[in-house]
A and B are shown apart, each in its own frame.
Chain A
Amino acid sequence: MSNQRERAPAEAGISRRMAELLTSLATFMAGVIVAVSSYQLGMHWASDGPQAGYFPFYIAMLICIGSVVNFLGQLKPDAGSRQFASWVALRRVATIVVPATVFIGLIHLIGIYVAALAYISGFMIILGRYPAWKGLSVGFGVSFVLFMLFEIWFKVLLPKGAYNVFSLIGH
């Protein structure tokens, strides 16, 4: 699959090296946060043995060391000029992430069943260019199966949101 990525170097995008550097910076920062927090908790020996921050502190040190090595490894001139992903590819990724974020946000408001109906049909109609009836029927079908499976058979209650339409039918 990596062949596909390397086949189109002409497309503009984020370089692999930049992505590597940013990621190792992010992991380094994560390490620092864990280390500081563990230090505040106490990472020494108390009368009753190691304190709560003892183990995480050394974990954090290893994260930082590993991140530094990964960072320096990318500074070598032969680290390559490969691409992480083109803008086109990243836009495709965004077409999953953005609607999914909206979907999860909607769950807070209208509950998972209605949100799933809206999300699946919206995704199919707008991004998949399906006729509205197809999108709506797949969305409704999935929501219906979920509802039967969880609320009725397994008695597992899923979030119904601040504006619960199912209160009309007693759920």
Chain B
Amino acid sequence: MEELSSLMQGFAVVLTPYNIMLMFIGVFLGIIVGVLPGLGGANGVAILLPLTFTMSPTSAIVMLSCIYWGALFGGAITSILFNIPGEPWSVATTFDGYPMAQQGKAGEALTASFTSSFFGALMAIIMITFIAPAVANFALRFGPPEFFSVYFLTFCSFIGMGKEPPFKILVAMMIGFALAAVGIDIVTGQLRLTFGYTELLRGFNFLIAVIGLFGIGEILLSMEEGLSFTGKTAKLNMKVVLETWVKLRRYWGTAIRSTLIGCWLGVTPGGATPASFMAYGVAKRTSKNGEKFGTGQLEGVVAPEVANNAAGTSALLPMIALGIPGSPTAAVLLGGLLIWGLQPGPLLFVEQKDFVWGLIASMYLGNIASLILVLTCVPFFAAILKVPFSIIAPVIIVICTVGAYTVANAMGDVWFMLVFGVVGYVFKKLDYPLAPLVLALVLGDQAESAFRQSMLLSQGDMRIFFSNSLVGSITVLALFMLFWPFIAKGVAHIRAKAAG
């Protein structure tokens, strides 16, 4: 039970009035970010990252992770009230949430969604509390080949498990790697891919890419569709909340199944979006009222919301324990750690105990803060959505511009942001996934140096990635993930033949 005493210490670190204030500010900003289309979790954290440079790392991560929780909760609000998912992982919530709102049961749907989000996140945090230290301990035995094989596994599972065409995922991811290579080579100190432009000396900061691809790109998409907000006001009082809670007890089975799906997909970098769809699908198949799904079933709101928050939260497990983010937002948080001078990875548990356990403790408190805030603030957020797009759009672009500029105080970055925005728009429309691109951009340097160190160790012999049972099994698993689409096709083919 060493974890429990460390956790208590973590609470002691986090529970200062200043940190609690940051927590509520963070959750509040996060909900706004989650509600507004065009500002997402990753993007919101990216824009606000420069504001935390002067804070202590613990306070900074408390605020930023709370922005993340807020965004995970807030994404559901617009899905239910307006059928506009504020975040991709809330799409599955619209299936039953919006019909419920149409039937005048918006309060019920929102309560169910928030409670389920809270449940999913809480389960994932409990898992992190007990599993993360063990994973980190295990990972302390890692050398460069092991680290590269874990990175390799991460990238391969993106290609194998993604729902986009595999070669599009490959291209998007490799562009991320190429962008990461721009600038000064960390090993030899040579300039790479700068083509003589001084603006490129610094390399591409992933924050610029995130703000452009997700922020500006999303606005362009919304604009193209001629988005107009016409919402319904949701009256949410404590009576509805209590009544819904009584009803929710029936769906504990669905909640636990969705939690497992969410945690699994969050730790392997499947992410919150596939988790929410998968949980919805499983709930539909296993529920007695399966055929009524899509017409406003409470269970249809519970399943995706539990899963997306469980996935969103457990995506932080590999980030804390291994230094490998499981989601774009976790990737941005990881970038934050690097900026504050912390090297993410297993050593963090040994060297920065206060920070890690403070972060884990803030996950518990942040989620409680989120639940309180979302339940009280819904009418206010409904009011935000009545602001027409022709006001929201330029304001968001101004905010993105400020965010991009403050990363390195460079106007060049602002122009890059605009270019990334157009690229993000085209990529999204053509099913090129953006998450692997950002992931590769963040991890590119580390993956490359792990690879080069391994190559130095082995004098260029690729067999080093199979040299012991640990690295070998990770590499084999990675290759299995990479070729999963082909394997799945083959199995289906054999089954079809066997069937007749």
Binding site for B on A (CB under 8 A): 1, 4-5, 16, 19-20, 23-24, 27, 30-31, 34, 37-38, 41, 45, 49-56, 59-60, 62-63, 65-67, 69-70, 73, 84-85, 89-90, 92-93, 95-97, 99-101, 103-104, 107-108, 112, 116, 119-120, 123-124, 127-128, 130, 138, 142, 146, 150, 154, 156-159
Contacts and interface: CB of A to CB of B under 8 A. Distances in A.
A89 B224 contact: yes
Contact of A41 (B167, B190, B224, B430): B190
A108 B398 contact: no
Contacts of B373: none
Contacts of B406: 150, 156, 158
B426 A52 contact: no
The 3 closest A-B pairs by CB, nearest first: A128-B390, A66-B171, A123-B394
Nearest to B393: A96
B430 A150 contact: no
Contacts of A45: 460
A62 B170 contact: yes
Nearest to B404: A104
A142 B415 CA distance: 21
A52 B195 contact: no
B341 interface: no
B11 interface: no
Interface centre among B171, B395, B456 (most CB of A within 10 A): B171
Given A60-B178, A63-B174, A119 B192 contact: no
Given A100-B397, A156-B50, A158-B402, A66 B174 contact: yes
Interface residues of B, number: 58
A123 B178 contact: no
A69 B448 CA distance: 25
B261 interface: no
Contacts of A24: 171
A69 B170 CA distance: 11
Contact of A23 (B167, B398, B430): B430
A54 to B, nearest CB: 7
Contacts of A4: 225
Given A104-B418, A123-B394, A158-B405, 4 more contacts: A56-B193, A66-B171, A96-B397, A150-B406
Contacts of A99: 394
Contacts of A67: 171
A100 B418 contact: yes
B398 A63 contact: no
B239 to A, nearest CB: 35
Contact of B223 (A30, A49, A96, A103): A96
A97 to B, nearest CB: 7
Interface of B: prevailing SS: helix
Given A52-B190, A53-B192, A92 B226 contact: yes
12 contacts: A1-B225, A19-B430, A55-B448, A60-B178, A89-B225, A100-B418, A103-B401, A107-B411, A107-B414, A112-B402, A120-B394, A124-B391
Interface centre among B225, B395, B398, B452 (most CB of A within 10 A): B398
A93 B217 CA distance: 10
Interface of B: 50-51, 54, 165, 167-168, 170-171, 174-175, 177-178, 181, 185, 187-188, 190, 192-193, 195, 216, 219-220, 223-226, 388, 390-391, 393-395, 397-398, 401-402, 405-406, 409, 411, 414-415, 418, 421-422, 425-427, 429-430, 432, 448, 451-452, 455-456, 460
A146 B391 contact: no
A120 B395 CA distance: 7
A156 B51 contact: yes
A138 to B, nearest CB: 6
A156 B401 CA distance: 14
A123 B455 contact: no
Nearest to A51: B188
B415 A104 contact: yes
A92 B398 contact: no
Contact of A38 (B192, B216, B414): B192
Contacts of A146: 398, 402
Contacts of B415: 104
A96 B193 contact: no
A162 B492 CA distance: 65
Nearest to B456: A49
Given A30-B175, A56-B192, A156-B50, A95 B223 contact: yes
Given A56-B193, A63-B175, A120 B430 contact: no
Contact of A116 (B398, B432, B448): B398
A104 B401 CA distance: 8
Contacts of A1: 225
Contacts of B460: 45, 50
A101 B418 contact: yes
Contact of B422 (A89, A97, A112, A154): A97
Contacts of A27: 171, 175
Given A20-B430, A90-B224, A96-B223, A66 B167 contact: yes
Given A45-B460, A62-B170, A92 B394 contact: no
A154 B411 CA distance: 20
A93 B390 contact: no
B393 A123 contact: yes
B398 A119 contact: yes
Contacts of B181: 34, 55-56, 59
Contacts of B50: 156
Contacts of B177: 56, 59
